[in-house]
């Protein structure tokens, strides 16, 4: 699944580790999502959207 997570994270000035800590996952999980190797659970997608104060659809896009 395509995503804009790296751009959003960089706009907020967050490292992968900082974002991971904020949403309760590992840095490796954030890295895998950003590289489109892992699709997050619905719960994690909501956590990420809440962290960036946006809708899930603004982060994740079906191919």
Q: 7-49 pLDDT, tens per residue?
A: 999 999 999 999 999 999 999 999 999 999 999 999 999 999 9
pLDDT, position 6: 98
Nearest to 48 by CA among 34, 36, 59, 35: 59
Q: What are phi and psi of 60, to 5 degrees?
A: -110, 135
Residues contacting 31, CB < 8 A, separation 6+: 16
CATH of region 2-55, choose from 1.10.3210.10, 3.80.10.10, 1.10.510.10, 1.10.260.40:
1.10.260.40
Dmax of the chain from CA atoms?
Answer: 28
Q: Where are the beta strands (DSSP E) in 1-62?
A: 2-3, 60-61
Total length of the chain: 63
pLDDT, position 62: 85
């Amino acid at each position: 699944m395509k995503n804009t997570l790296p751009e959003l994270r960089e706009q907020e000035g967050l490292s992968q580790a900082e974002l991971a800590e904020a949403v309760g996952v590992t840095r490796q999980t954030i890295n895998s999502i950003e590289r489109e190797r892992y699709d997050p659970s619905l719960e994690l997608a909501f956590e990420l959207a809440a962290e960036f104060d946006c809708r899930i659809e603004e982060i994740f896009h079906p191919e």
